[in-house]
Every structure is written in C-alpha cells, then in structure tokens.
Amino acid sequence: MRRVIKPLMSSAALLALTSCTPSALSDEGTPSETAAAAEVVAVVDGDTIDVMTPTGEERVRIIGIDTPEIGRGGDASECYAEEAREFVDDLLYGHDVELRGDATQADVDAYGRLLRHVFIDGHSAAVETLAAGAGHEYTFDVAYDGQDAHQAAESAARDARLGLWGSCDQ
C-alpha cells in the first residue's frame, strides 16, 4: 500500500507546485492563460503582500515598484508609506489575483519573498499603484517585463503631482 500512496502523494505535490508556478509575462506585460491564482490574505506594505495559494501561504514582493517604508520597531514611517499600504490594501486585500514570474528576475529575493508581477482583473497592481502616485518604479539589477508601462505610470503621476509626488519632498 505504501508503494502506491507515496508515488501518488509525490505526483499530487508536483501537480500542486506546477499548477501555482507562474509563467512569464507576454511582451506587453499582460498575464497569459496560465497565470497562477492566489487570494490576497494580507497587505504588508505597498509592495509586499501575503497570498494563499493551493500549496499554502506565501509572501510576495511585487516586481517593478518600491513604496515608502512603514516604520517598524519604533522607527517613523517614510512619507506616504501608510497611504501606499492603504491603496494596495483597498486594491488587493481579499481578492483573487494572478501571480506571474519574470524570466529576467530571480524567483525569490534576499528575504525569501516570491518575486512576482501581480494582476487583478487583468490589470497590473504595480502599474495601478504607480499611476496613483503611491510608489516609485523600481528596477533591481536588470530590466523586467512591462517596465515601460511602469515608468510611464510613474511619470504621469509625478507630472500630475499625485500621491507622494504632491505630498512628499521629492
């Protein structure tokens, strides 16, 4: 019996892992049909979320955006940090999202967070957040898929003095 159950469990685990492993973005930076689905169960800050996948809870660092840091351990929050977190919370918390890996980026960062593009209703959460002025476009090491859209969203928000661009010394 053990010989049958063990291979079945291994196959089930492999299926679960591959079914939630994101594939790359298309050239336009939009999700394809094989996106990994997850539910957002917590918003840590404007660029980090916790999601529930079929294999369990994961912490995700959203590719292409950096938001002001929330103060921890008695440190003060940076300008617009709370507003950025609130924007992302309103946008994503409790919703199903699509997670996309990016072949140009590592799978996880130095803190063990999954590095993913996050889409809600077919729209990039990072681009939405940048367009609202709640963060800066962020490139780590090399350009990522969809970078032009991220940069354009930041530029438009900055020009319109939205969010942190109108509230913080830049």
Is 120 a member of any domain? Answer: yes
Is 16 a member of any domain? Answer: no
Interval 102-106 mean pLDDT: 96
> pLDDT over 70 for what percent of the chain?
79
Is 32 a member of any domain? Answer: yes
What's the total number of domains in the chain?
1
For residue 79, the surrounding DSSP H or E stretch is: none
Confidence of residue 169 (pLDDT cuts 50, 70, 90): confident
Is 10 a member of any domain? Answer: no
Residues 6+ apart with CB under 8 A from 154: 130, 135, 136, 137
For 40, list phi and psi in degrees, rounded to 5. -80, 120
Beta strands in the chain (DSSP E): 36-45, 48-53, 56-62, 65-66, 96-100, 114-120, 123-124, 136-137
**Structural domain boundaries enclosing 76:** 26-167
Exposure on the CB side of residue 167, measured as CA atoms within 13 A: 16
State the pTM of this model. 0.80
For the segment 124-158, what is each residue's pLDDT rounded down to a tens digit?
999 999 999 999 999 999 999 999 999 999 999 99
Is 125 a member of any domain? Answer: yes
Is 21 a member of any domain? Answer: no
CATH number, domain of 163, equals 2.40.50.90
Is 13 a member of any domain? Answer: no
